[in-house]
Amino acid sequence: MDIDQAIKEYLQYLQLERNCSPVTIRGYQGNLRRFTAHLAAQKGCRMLDVAQITTAEIRSYLYALGERGVKAKSLHRELCAIRGFFRFLVEIDLLTQTPAQKIQKPKIPHTKPNPLSEEEI
């Protein structure tokens, strides 16, 4: 199946079956559009078949984002969107396994909140 059609079906699933908010759906759509744009640039074509996407290509996308200075929290969100998309494709029997399954989530550093100064209180 063409990736654009698969994304369209996934977004409909999020809206109708998962009852996700429009903001959430737009966020996932943006994540997946950036991913497909990266794949299209790497492969030199616009028509992409979801069955041909590999774990290495997903890793390459996340690496490219990291090289551009995208923070771990944003990389985590990108990976969550991609994982959810591929889990959906397995659920509807379009794929037998997800290429995103073996990719570890980026570690998000824990930061302590800055206490308010006396002037701010």
| Structure-block tokens of residue 33 | 């559009």
**β-strand partners of 103:** none
| Structure-block tokens of residue 62 | 């996340």
115 inside domain: no
Q: What is the per-residue pLDDT across 55-99, written as a single tens digit (0 to 9) for each?
A: 999 999 999 999 999 998 999 999 999 999 999 999 999 999 999
Looking at residue 109, what is its pLDDT? 64
27 inside domain: yes
Give the global pTM. Answer: 0.84
Q: For residue 53, what are the domain limits?
A: 3-91
117 inside domain: no
CATH number of the domain enclosing 65: 1.10.150
- Collapse the DSSP code of 121 into the 3-class scheme (helix H, G, I; strand E, B; otherwise coil) and give the result: coil
Question: Using alpha carbons only, how large is the chain's radius of gyration in Å?
Answer: 17
Distance of CA 108 to the CA centre of its chain: 16
Cα separation, 103 vs 79, whole angstroms: 8
For the residues 48-52, what does the mean pLDDT come to? 91
61 inside domain: yes
**Domain count along the chain:** 1
To which residue do tokens 């698969």 refer?
Answer: 6
98 inside domain: no
Q: Which residues are CB-contacts of 7 (< 8 A; sequence separation ≥ 6)?
A: 29, 32, 33, 36, 85
119 inside domain: no
Pick from 3, 2, 13: nearest CA to 88: 13
Spatial contact of 107 and 72, defined as CB atoms under 8 Å apart: yes
Q: How many CB atoms lie within 10 A of CB 63?
A: 11
